[in-house]
Amino acid sequence: MPELTLQRIPFTIEADNQLRMLKARTGITPNILCRIGFCLSLEERGVPASIKGNTKFGREINRYTLLGKHDQVYTAMLVTRLLRDSIPTEEIDTMFLAHINRGIQILSTRIKSIISMSHLANN
């Protein structure tokens, strides 16, 4: 199975700002928010836009902090999605970043408070 080679996960400045806002709204740590957003992005239709080479980045999070002991589970979910979308598995790092950043964007539009999080579970 293809593996992620990224050890530090960069976030666009926009995604970093959205993470700060989401943490303030919910009290949930950025790594957990990213995990939820990643899953939401995998569930969305369409392929997320790749991050352009001239994009400015904000914070970086260590991969183990981001994915924890479930690293292989998240990787397997991504590989499944890549195969479904007919994207070469060599694009795993690029698509991981694209899904993480799209997931944060999805969360920022859906979550207005900690109570909004319960609506995600009902869908």
Domain boundaries, the chain: 8-122
- The pLDDT of residue 77: 97
pLDDT in tens, 86-99: 999 999 999 999 99
Going by pLDDT thresholds of 50, 70 and 90, the confidence category of residue 2 is confident
Task: Name every residue whose Cβ is closer than 8 Å to that of residue 6 and which is 6 or more positions away in sequence.
Answer: 63, 93, 96, 97
What fold, for 8-122? Answer: Arc Repressor Mutant (1.10.1220)
Quote the pTM value: 0.91
Percent above pLDDT 70 for the chain: 96
Task: Name every residue whose Cβ is closer than 8 Å to that of residue 110 and which is 6 or more positions away in sequence.
Answer: 116, 119, 120
pLDDT in tens, 4-26: 999 999 998 999 999 999 999 99
- Across the chain, mean pLDDT equals 91
Give the C-alpha separation, 84 to 123, whole Å: 22
Core vs surface per residue 82-109: b (16+ CB within 10 A) or e: beeeebeeebbeebbbbbbbbbbbbbbe
Give the C-alpha separation, 114 to 123, whole Å: 16
